[in-house]
Amino acid sequence: MEISHITLIVQNLAKTTTMLETLFDAEEVYDSQDQTHSYFPENSF
């Protein structure tokens, strides 16, 4: 069994991004920026 993805809904995307990059050496591979296809900004690592 493997995990393909996990969704987190957070209050502060910038702080969460820093935490993931620091603790897990995560690399951002997607940033929704100003696209409006979602209710909230999205980042993928």
Give the per-residue pLDDT at 32: 84
2 as an active site residue: the answer is no
29 near 41, Cβ under 8 Å? no
Contact between 44 and 30 under an 8 Å Cβ cutoff? The reply is yes
22 falls in which pLDDT band (50, 70, 90)?
A: very high
Task: Indicate the pLDDT class of residue 33, thresholds 50, 70 and 90.
Answer: confident
d(CA 8, CA 13): 10
DSSP reduced 3-state for 26: coil
Range of the domain at 40: 13-44
Q: Is residue 27 part of a domain?
A: yes
User: What is the pTM assigned to this prediction?
Assistant: 0.67
Q: Is 24 within the bounds of a domain?
A: yes
Contact by Cβ (8 Å): 45, 28 = yes
Question: Could you say which of 2, 27, 28, 42 is catalytic?
Answer: 42
Mean pLDDT for 26-44 is: 80
Q: How many domains does the chain have?
A: 1
Q: What does the pLDDT look like over 7-17, one tens digit per residue?
A: 888 999 899 99
Percent of residues, the chain, with pLDDT higher than 90: 33
Are the C-beta atoms of residues 43 and 32 closer than 8 Å to each other?
yes
